Amino acid sequence: MRILLDENLPRKLAGHLIGHTCRTVAECGWSGKANGELLGLADPQFDVMLTLDKNLPYQQNLDTKGIAVLIVRARSNRIQDLLPVIPECLAALENIQPHQVVRVGSLPPR
């Protein structure tokens, strides 16, 4: 699967998504793009956008895009907080479909 890592995720996360091709928004030269424009650019080149942005599906109409969105819920975007969610991410990537929004992980109580 071709995965785009949103700006809010660390590049190191890509190395843990074994079996998938990952690029970051910055690597694509799309830093600072608004979500709508970003999804439009990503749609033909990626299958899934991985993000921490829980509001993205409420702000964008994914029915018009071929890309799916995988939303990671974690305490922070630090790699040590994201690593426990990797198995759930990999499982979700096995079944995610175009236009779909899937949420993985949970926010632990503070």
1-59: pLDDT as tens digits: 999 999 999 999 999 999 999 999 999 999 999 888 888 899 889 999 999 988 777 67
Q: Which domain holds residue 11?
A: 2-105
C-alpha count within 13 angstroms, C-beta hemisphere, residue 51 = 19
* Cβ neighbours for 66, distance < 8 A, ≥ 6 positions apart: 43, 44, 98, 99
DSSP 81-104: HHGGGHHHHHHHHHH--TT-EEEE
Could you tell me the CATH number of the domain that includes residue 58?
Answer: 3.40.50
Classify residue 100: in a domain, yes or no.
yes
Percent of the chain predicted with pLDDT > 70:
93
Per-residue pLDDT reduced to its tens digit, 56-94: 776 776 777 789 999 999 999 999 999 999 999 999 999
Mean pLDDT over all residues of the chain?
Answer: 90
Classify residue 110: in a domain, yes or no.
no
How many structural domains does the chain have?
1
